[in-house]
A and B are shown apart, each in its own frame.
Chain A
Amino acid sequence: MNDNVKELKVSAIENGTVIDHIPANAVFQVIKMLKLDDFDQMVLFGTNLESKKYGLKGIIKVSNKYFKPEELNKIALVAPHATIIEIKDYKVARKTVVETPDDIVAIVKCFNPNCITNKEFITTRFNVVDKEDIRLKCHYCEKITVKKNMEFT
């Protein structure tokens, strides 16, 4: 089964953005991170689709929406190999990959229970100190949150 046929498992969109190569278990997290659960246009998604490269993958198609890079890059935390495809008139207009940003704001919880961000109503902020293994240094308590401890707000 090639990629084109798989794409058809989730209907094509006329205009908008396709986010492909999402790990199958991260689709709902990406929807949440991009606030698509509160979006007023058509959003299509599929998960546990076969992928030659990644085994199983997920895909999200968002109608009539083009994202800014900073909006999309934050999904690199859960979907580091995601491909972003901008569709115009059913055709691929632009194809990029996500890049892990230098800073992460308001998405991740600090794993340190004694961090001020877990005690008061404060927006979390992290500096990404390792983009390969995803290690986040808390701006406040300076402790490192690693991928296995990562919880999302």
Chain B
Amino acid sequence: MVVNNLLKSGFLAAFFLTFCIVKLLNFNLIAQQTYLQMKNKSLVSINDYSKGEQLKVLEAAREFEANPVQTILKDYVIASLFFEPSTRTRLSFESAINRLGGKIVGFSEAANTSVKKGESLRDSILTVANYSDLIVMRNPVEGSARFASEISPVPVINAGDGSNQHPTQTLLDLYSILKTQETLDDLHVAFVGDLKYGRTVHSLVIALCNYNTTFHLVSPVELKLPSSVKMHIKEKKLAYHQYTSMEEVIPQADILYMTRIQKERFSDPLEYERIKNSYILEKEMLHDTKRNLRILHPMPRVNEIHVNVDADPRAYYFQQALNGVYVRQALLSLILGIR
């Protein structure tokens, strides 16, 4: 009897152990497959990456944050092609590459390049691909990154194509939200300002549709979120609320994502003058918030967040910019298949 029971327990233990091993192997296999799928895969639009792939990037970013200086890119040359000036994105990419020991070739504006002589983007990409293992590109022409990714023999990361896509910003926004909230699920995210033209807002809204987000959309009537973006929220049957002032939103929000309202977006300058101060965040407006509230901004800021907010522990926009380095390190390593 005792022997029987022992045998039974032994069988059960062996079965449980085998089950765990199979599960673990399966999990590793799925993780391995995700890594393999991401190798050499260009990133043009945030929708190019599945939710699983986006989470892999965030997971890798966390590892790079813990250990940002490595030499894993020492044998790689990255082309950094900025056809229009950019401060944050370019320096963040270059910092990410340098901290991983990679070499950079490229330019920070098109003025002194063959583009000025009339060279096509096709020729520029095909030439530069000969000199590099990966291309990071910003170009003011919309769709240029998709086109480059289709003709380039090396992977392309879109660092912004006109008003279209800026997926690395979206990933660093997601990372900042994950880091400050310890989850991406079930959050109340308030977007404030220009929701019509802001590409960072559009991409982040679309990405957050994967995480059961409740959206609070604060903007002047002229700058409401376009229906093409709202369509994504509706498709996932998520809740969204629209407002024209931010006071009532602040107490509900886990994330307050501020954006700049530009004067040139208004046909009537008087209308701009009337509303411009309604979308400026000041410290005294933060008296009644959730403890976990964090304020994000894709930057550059002009006056939409008063400097008196900067020292507040809920202000997170400068750390957000730093997170961009870790996210870009993660992307470079995953796309080059180094992880």
Q: How far is the CA of A82 from the CA of B163 in the complex (A)?
A: 38
Taken residue by residue from 89 to 122, chain A's Cβ proximity to chain B (1 for < 8 Å, 0 otherwise) reads as 0000000000000000000001010111101111
Specify which chain B residues have a CB less than 8 angstroms from the CB of A117 in the assembled complex: 143
A116 & B147 in contact (Cβ 8 Å cutoff):
yes
- B162's partner among A114, A120, A122 (CB-CB below 8 A) is A114
> Among the interface residues A120, A138, A141, which one has the most CB atoms of the partner chain B within 10 A?
A141
Residues of A near B228 (CB, < 8 A) are 144
* Least CB distance, A146 to chain B, in whole angstroms: 11
Q: Across the two chains, which residue of chain A brings its CB closest to B144?
A: A116
Q: A122 touching B142 by the CB < 8 A rule?
A: no
The complex places the Cα of A23 from the Cα of B299 at a distance, in Å, of: 51
- B264-294 vs A, CB cutoff 8 Å, 1 = contact: the mask equals 0000000000000000000000000000000
Q: Mark B284-328, 1 if CB is under 8 A from A, else 0.
A: 000000000000000000000000000000000000000000000
Most buried by A among B121, B147, B165, B228: B147
Residues of chain A at interface, number, CB under 8 A: 17
Q: Which of B120, B143, B144, B146 has the most CB of A within 10 A?
A: B143
Tell yes or no: A32 within 8 A of B by CB.
no
Query: Cβ of B141 < 8 Å from any Cβ of A?
Result: yes
Q: Is the CB of B164 within 8 A of A142?
A: yes
Interface string of A117-148 (1 = CB under 8 A from B): 10111100000000000000011111110000
Q: Closest chain A residue to B47 by CB distance? A: A142
For window 239-277 of B, CB contacts with A under 8 Å fall at none
User: Would you give the shortest CB distance from A116 to chain B, in whole angstroms?
Assistant: 4
B122 within 8 Å of A by Cβ? Answer: yes
Assembled-state Cα–Cα distance A119/B165 (Å): 18
Highest count of chain B CB atoms <10 Å: which of A112, A116, A121, A122: A116
Interface contact B45-A119, CB-CB below 8 Å: no
What's the nearest-Cβ distance from chain B to residue A89, in Å? Answer: 47
Residue of B45, B142, B163 touching A116 (CB-CB under 8 A)? B142
CA distance A141 to B121 in the complex (A): 15
Residue from the list A121, A141, A144 in contact with B142, Cβ < 8 A: A141
Task: Write the chain A residue with the least CB distance to B228.
Answer: A144
Contact A140 to B162, CB < 8 A, known contacts A119-B141, A120-B122? no
A139 to B143: give the CA distance in the assembly, Å: 8
Q: Report which residue of B120, B146, B163 has the largest number of chain A beta carbons within 10 angstroms of its beta carbon.
A: B146
Interface pair B142/A115, CB less than 8 Å apart:
yes
Asked if B121 and A120 make an inter-chain contact with CB atoms under 8 angstroms apart, the answer reads: yes
| A141 contacts across to B, CB distance below 8 A | 142-143, 161-162, 164
What A residues does B161 contact at CB under 8 A? 141
Measured CA separation A144–B164 after assembly (Å): 12
- Bound together, the chains give a CA A137 to CA B140 distance in angstroms of 19
Shortest Cβ distance from A112 into B: residue: B142
A116, B147: Cα distance in complex, Å: 8
B142 and chain A: residue at smallest CB distance? A141
**CA gap between A116 and B228 in the complex, in Å:** 21
> Which residue on A lies nearest to B226, using beta carbons?
A144
CB distance from B200 to the nearest CB of A (A): 15
- Residue interface bits B2-26, CB-to-A below 8 A is 1, else 0: 0000000000000000000000000
Chain A contacts to B: CB under 8 angstroms: 110, 112, 114-117, 119-122, 138-144
11 examples of A-B residue contacts, CB within 8 angstroms: A110-B143, A114-B140, A115-B142, A119-B141, A120-B120, A139-B143, A139-B146, A141-B162, A142-B45, A142-B165, A143-B142
Extra contacts besides A116-B143, A140-B144, A141-B162 (10): CB < 8 Å: A114-B142, A116-B141, A116-B146, A121-B120, A138-B143, A140-B146, A141-B161, A142-B142, A142-B164, A144-B228
